[in-house]
Structure formats: structure tokens, C-alpha cells
Amino acid sequence: FIMLHAAVWSAGTFIYVPENVKVRMPLQAYFRMNAEMGGQFEHTLIVADKNSEVQYVEGCSSPLYNSSSSLHAGCVEIFVHEGARVRYSSVENWSKNTYNLNTKRAIVEKNGIVEWINGNNGSCCTMLYPCSVLIGEGARSDSLGIAFAGPGQNQDTGSKVIHAAPNTTSTIKAKSISKGGGISSYRGSVQVSKNATNTKCSVVCDALLIDDKSVSNTFPFMKIDTNKVDIAHEASVGKIGEEQIFYLMSRGLTEEQAMQMVVSGFIEPIVKQLPLEYAVELNKLIELEMEGTVG
């Protein structure tokens, strides 16, 4: 799919931030796939020069065509130079007939910081694993993601980090919600090279199952080639407790409203990192997916 993208991509976003320039307002782009049986292959390229800062937000959507499938195979490249900081946020709401197969990668130099924030909703199948390659000493990567899998959906998401320099740090926080037989999977990779001493990495996966038909999977992979590291992996899966629902209903909410509120609290760490209009949008999308859960 990377080669297909390289062969046919024709548009996208290019951002260059000069040295010492700090862009305070988030830059935004919106990609919509309108054609039936179409393919979208946009390319995003962000270059943050030394000691610069930028925030970039992408929104993606497509209409539903009942008798055909569509393909989204975009690519994102981020270059974080020494001391720079880039926050890349993406809210995706593809129709249920779309295959969403993305490639996203960042190269981070000395003391640079890259932040990935992803909200994945819609599509019949999503495969998305933003990758950070930490090639400079003191580089950092933070990844925060939420995936919602409804009936007939397979959300296969996660994150990759390659620690190729000493004193580098990474965090991965992945949350998923499965409903109506949907399948959500965390698939991640952490690699630490021989010279990447004093590496620190924390991976946390939390899954919420709405019913007995849904599935949650976790596929972590860690390859550690040096001794002086601090690596942690934690995974949990659970259901909405009856006591929580009872308490909220005793305060005047319906059962469906109570479940929506619990789910909203579950995804709050991701939502609060997004700009306000995107946070409202993601919350609303999750609420719409939760409608009809009861009865």
C-alpha cells in the first residue's frame, strides 16, 4: 500500500516551520472522499526546523455507498529537528464501506518532541500504527489514541517507537471501545537499539467492551537490545459496571444516557488533548455510535 500510494498520490499538505518559529494557532486540513469506489492517497509532509513548534489537525470523512467499497491509503511524514516540537492530531470518521490503511512516521532529532493524537471511527477495517524513530539523544515521542469498533468493524490500531539514541523517552496510551460484535485490537512495537541506553518507555492499553459479542485483542511486541532501560507494559479490559449505571440513573439519566456518560469519561484523556471544535466532534461521533445500545 505504501508503493501504491507512492505511485498515485497527487495532493496533500506541506508545512515548513523555520528555525525558532513557534506557531501558536493549530493548522488544520480536512480530507473528504466523495467518489464511489474511489481511492484517496493524500500525502502530508511536515518539517519543523530547529527549536520550532507547530500543531497540525486533520479531519477525514466520506459518504456511504451501499454497494461498493472505497480505499484510503494516505501517508504522513514528520521531520522534527533538534529542539523542535510537533503535535499531529487526526480525527477520522470514514463510512463503513471504507478500508482505511494509513502509514504515518516521524523522525525525531536531539531533544525533539513528537505527539500523535488519533481518534479512529468508522471504516470497515482500519490499520494504523503511527511510528516514531528517535535518532537524537533526549528525543521524545508521545502517542495517544482512541478507536471505536461497531458492528462489522475491525479497528486494528496502535503505535510503533524505535529508540535509536540514548536518553530517549516514549509513552503509548491506547484506548478502544467495542460494541455490537466489533473487533478492536492494539498492535504495537517498541524497539530499543544497543546504543539507546537509559531509554524510558511506557505502554498502556485500556479496552471497554459494551456487550458479550464484541472482541478486544492486544498484540504488543518489544525488542530490547540493551540493559540500561526502563520499559513497562500494562493492559486492561473491562465492561461498564452495573453500579455505575445504577448510580447515574438514580440522578435522573436514562440507561442509554448513563452509558454514554461512562464512555465519554473513558475517552476523556484523548478528547481533552484536541482543539475544542474537534473534541466536541469526537464526543458527538461516539455518542451517535452509542445510540441504540440499550433495548
Give the model confidence (pLDDT) of 106-161 as tens digits. Answer: 999 999 999 999 888 888 999 999 999 999 999 999 999 888 898 889 999 999 99
Question: How many whole angstroms separate alpha carbon 204 and alpha carbon 206?
Answer: 7
Strands 215-224 and 113-122: unpaired
Residues facing residue 211 across a β-bridge? none
Confidence at residue 241, expressed as pLDDT on a 0 to 100 scale: 72
Question: How many whole angstroms separate alpha carbon 14 and alpha carbon 31?
Answer: 14
CA angle (281 as vertex; 279, 285 as ends), nearest 5: 120
Residues of the chain falling short of pLDDT 70 = 64-67, 276-277, 289-295
Residues facing residue 79 across a β-bridge? 47, 107
Confidence at residue 295, expressed as pLDDT on a 0 to 100 scale: 45
Residues facing residue 75 across a β-bridge? 43, 103
- Taking phi over 0 as left and psi of -120 to 50 as alpha, with beta for the rest, 138 belongs to left
Question: Which amino acid appears at position 283 of this protein?
Answer: N
> What is the pTM (predicted TM-score) of this model?
0.89
Confidence at residue 87, expressed as pLDDT on a 0 to 100 scale: 95
Confidence at residue 66, expressed as pLDDT on a 0 to 100 scale: 64
Question: How many whole angstroms separate alpha carbon 126 and alpha carbon 184?
Answer: 10
Instruction: Name the packing angle between helices 255-271 and 242-249 (round to 10°).
Output: 110
| Phi (first) and psi of residue 138, to 5 degrees | 80, 5
